[in-house]
Amino acid sequence: MPIRLVLVGLLLTPPLQERSPATFEVVSIKPNRSGAPGSDTDTTAGRISVINATPLSLLLRAFGVSTFQIVGVPDWVRTERYDVVAIVSEGRVLNDQDRQPFFEKMLAERWQLRYHRETRTLRVYSLVNDGSKLVPHTGAGEYGMKVERAGARVILRSTRGNTQRLVEILGGFTGSVVSNDSDLGGVYDFTLEWVQDAAENDSGPTLFTALREQLGLRLVSAEKPAPVIVIDRIERPSEN
């Protein structure tokens, strides 16, 4: 009988290669002192480049949450900028969800990240489908969701983009948590353009109006319990 139990245990244990950790093969991290206001993310087969990104934006990529769901970070995490270039084994292409555990492990190893999770009541926005005008992506083309600034005007250009990444971007511009309740799970090509600062001399639409008119989406305000990531420790990485 003991032998039989051991055999059953072995049969239920997945092979070691199936349990391999989500770890980048090589990661290069260097400070970026260009003074440029924005960041750029490039995902290709076997490689992810995040250029001129704040450590806070790396945390957002690791946990898939909005800015206001990350609490307890020191000031430098919001202001300093870095270039992160990571190599992915076997030439894999990681989407936004696939890459989360890779970024989390990288932050734990190279930035000494320690954290815990809590639930707090926050003012949130819910992204809902109001007659979607999103165009499903077809054919070839690499993933890209890039934000451009021209004074008060903001332009988000998406190729093979998704609504989960969209709510992360919207969270940064609304100053609130944005939950994805659109039930739109595909990949899409679209351009979203709005005026961020109403005080500026620009006659363009607000973000809320642009979402409704250009994409057929709507932000609904509510107070909800929301998960937050409480940062217990994070350190500057050593240069490569």
> pLDDT at residue 105 above 90?
yes
**163: amino acid identity, one letter:** T
Separation between Cα atoms, residue 196 and residue 183, nearest integer Å: 26
Taking the CB of residue 233, how many other CB atoms lie within 10 A of it? 11
pTM of the model as a whole: 0.62
183 pLDDT tier (thresholds 50, 70, 90): very high
Q: Does residue 228 or residue 39 have the better pLDDT?
A: 228
Taking the CB of residue 172, how many other CB atoms lie within 10 A of it? 16
Q: Which of 180, 177, 146, 186 is nearest to 40 (CA)?
A: 146
Mean pLDDT rounded to a whole number for the chain: 86
96 pLDDT tier (thresholds 50, 70, 90): confident
| pLDDT at residue number 201 | 67
Q: Does residue 97 or residue 75 have the better pLDDT?
A: 75
| pLDDT at residue number 70 | 93
**Taking residues 142-161, what's their average pLDDT?**
89
In sequence order, what are the beta bridge partners of 128?
Answer: 218
14 pLDDT tier (thresholds 50, 70, 90): very low
Taking the CB of residue 28, how many other CB atoms lie within 10 A of it? 14
| pLDDT at residue number 156 | 96
> pLDDT at residue 118 above 80?
yes
Let me know: does 170 contact 178? Beta carbons within 8 Å: yes
> pLDDT at residue 207 above 90?
yes
**Taking residues 157-182, what's their average pLDDT?**
90
> pLDDT at residue 12 above 60?
no
Q: Is the dihedral of CA 89, 92, 94, 97 positive or negative?
A: negative
Domain borders along the chain are 20-233
